Amino acid sequence: MRHVILVRYGEISLKGLNRNYFIDLLAKNIRHALSHLESVKVRKVQGRIIVDIDDDELEEGLDRVTRVFGVVSVSPAVVIDSEWEVIETTLEEMIKPLEFETFRISARRANKNFPIHSDDIARKLGGTVLRAKEDVKVNLHEPEITFQVEVREETYLYFETIPGPGGLPVGCSGKTGLLLSGGIDSPVAGYMMAKRGLKPVAIYFHAFPYTSDRAKEKVITLARILSKYTGGFKLYVVPFTDLQLEIIENCPERQITILIRRYMARIAEEIARKEKLGSLTTGESLGQVASQTQESLLVTNEAADLPVFRPLIGLDKQEIVEIAQRIGTFETSILPYEDCCTIFVPKHPDTRPKLDLIKKSEEKIKDKADELIKKAVKDSEIIKIKPADA
């Protein structure tokens, strides 16, 4: 008896997108998500993707496939010959360990050479279950368990449907520069934009020795966890110390946070040009800190040409924490290693920065800063993040 995972994708998500491109990309992403499992083969059939997988790898396979964006639901199924006796005895075996009081059989005969019609398959198999199990009843409307039988060239038999994450296959919307700090918010932001089909290129600003190597390791760990959902991606570790010190030594203290944001955006845009990124993504949420007021975001945006996506903008911290817990980044995010922005936080940050004053400060350090931006990009360490390492 062979096992497969039946993968369903949403028809709605196909709107406006080239259908075959979408399905091929989804199949490719599933293949990548399962590449560490030896028995796996991924193939397309009419309206579905099928993953052939050995029994002993099934659990791990299900765990991975149900993280792939674009997957609406999956069912672990057994594959058997399309012969009546085989179908009947397999179903009998299948129900043995299960406890239920009400059930229904849902049968579909796609293979018209099979001699029994769908309705009759359902009725006959209903009888099989009633004979094999005491005290169970048929309930067509609200059954506890539904046994599904799909008779094709081969027959699929299953009773479980596990929801997937939905969304669009990662990559179908292009690539985004994800500003990834070690905090709670930015990994969640990356997750949410990946759900809309954006592949991240992560960018971390590292202010060594003010931020330690442990802080960097934490970001790498977060990136690996995120890659279980997005597939592998590049992480730029940008040396940020010199530029940060240049700002701190020459500009008014209350402007430091917003100036740092603007230079982060500029460096991210340099990387975006190199990597052909169509947007930037941050974990900002309105009103959370001084740099996340409308006025501050206006001034930050002015430094960037690309659209800046902020998927958390309308979420409360608690809502963000819940997503972080669900996707598995929270525990790592709360490890206490310092962040470059928290080390240099001014006592009284400007919550309503004025663009002209900010520009005046930048004018003073322009030549040096331009040079440091180029140097930071050039000296960035590029780490290949792989989901298998998570």
Which residues of this protein are in contact with ligand ATP, per CB under 6 A? 179-181, 183-186, 203-205, 282-284, 288-289, 291, 339-341
Tell me how far, at minimum, the Cβ of 283 lies from ligand ATP, in Å. Answer: 3
Tell me how far, at minimum, the Cβ of 93 lies from ligand ATP, in Å. Answer: 50
Closer to Mg ion by Cβ: residue 34 or 184: 184
CA distance 57 to 51: 11
Closer to ligand ATP by Cβ: residue 151 or 178: 178
CB 261 within 8 A of CB 269: no
CB 138 within 8 A of CB 126: yes
DSSP states along 326-386: HHT-HHHHTS----HHHHT--SS--SS--HHHHHHHHHHHHHHHHHHHHHHHHT-EEEEE-
CA atoms within 13 A on the CB side of 102: 7
Residue 228: its H or E element: helix 213-230
Tell me how far, at minimum, the Cβ of 291 lies from ligand ATP, in Å. Answer: 5
Pattern 60-79, Mg ion, x by CB under 5 A = --------------------
CB atoms within 10 A of CB 357: 14
Tell me how far, at minimum, the Cβ of 389 lies from ligand ATP, in Å. Answer: 21
Closer to ligand ATP by Cβ: residue 77 or 340: 340
Pattern 331-370, Mg ion, x by CB under 5 A = --------x-------------------------------
CA distance 120 to 348: 76
- Identify any residues that bridge with 336 across adjacent strands, giving them in sequence order: none
Closer to ligand ATP by Cβ: residue 150 or 339: 339
CB 49 within 8 A of CB 61: no
Closer to ligand ATP by Cβ: residue 145 or 289: 289
Angle in degrees, 0-180, between the axes of helices 256-275 and 241-250, rounded to the nearest 10: 150
CB atoms within 10 A of CB 98: 13
Closer to Mg ion by Cβ: residue 181 or 211: 181
Tell me how far, at minimum, the Cβ of 382 lies from Mg ion, in Å. Answer: 22
Closer to Mg ion by Cβ: residue 183 or 200: 183
Residue type, 83: E
Segment 153-182, which members bind Mg ion (CB under 5 A)? 181
For Mg ion, which residue of 61, 76, 167, 183 counts as binding (CB under 5 A)?
183
Verify binding: residue 187, Mg ion, rule CB under 5 A.
no
Cβ density class 159-196: b for 16+ within 10 Å, e for less: beeeebbebbbbbbbebbbbbbbbbbbbbbbbbbbbbe
Residue of minimal CB distance from ligand ATP? Answer: 183
284 contact, one of ligand ATP, Mg ion, none, CB 5-8 Å limit per kind: ligand ATP
Tell me how far, at minimum, the Cβ of 29 lies from ligand ATP, in Å. Answer: 24
Closer to ligand ATP by Cβ: residue 180 or 225: 180
288 contact, one of Mg ion, ligand ATP, none, CB 5-8 Å limit per kind: ligand ATP
CA distance 328 to 358: 38
179 contact, one of Mg ion, ligand ATP, none, CB 5-8 Å limit per kind: ligand ATP
289 contact, one of ligand ATP, Mg ion, none, CB 5-8 Å limit per kind: ligand ATP
Phi-psi region of 99 (alpha: psi -120 to 50; beta: other; left: phi over 0): beta
Closer to Mg ion by Cβ: residue 82 or 285: 285
Tell me how far, at minimum, the Cβ of 280 lies from ligand ATP, in Å. Answer: 9
Q: By C-alpha distance, which of 87, 103, 171 is closest to 135? A: 103
Per CB under 5 A, residues contacting Mg ion are: 181, 183, 339
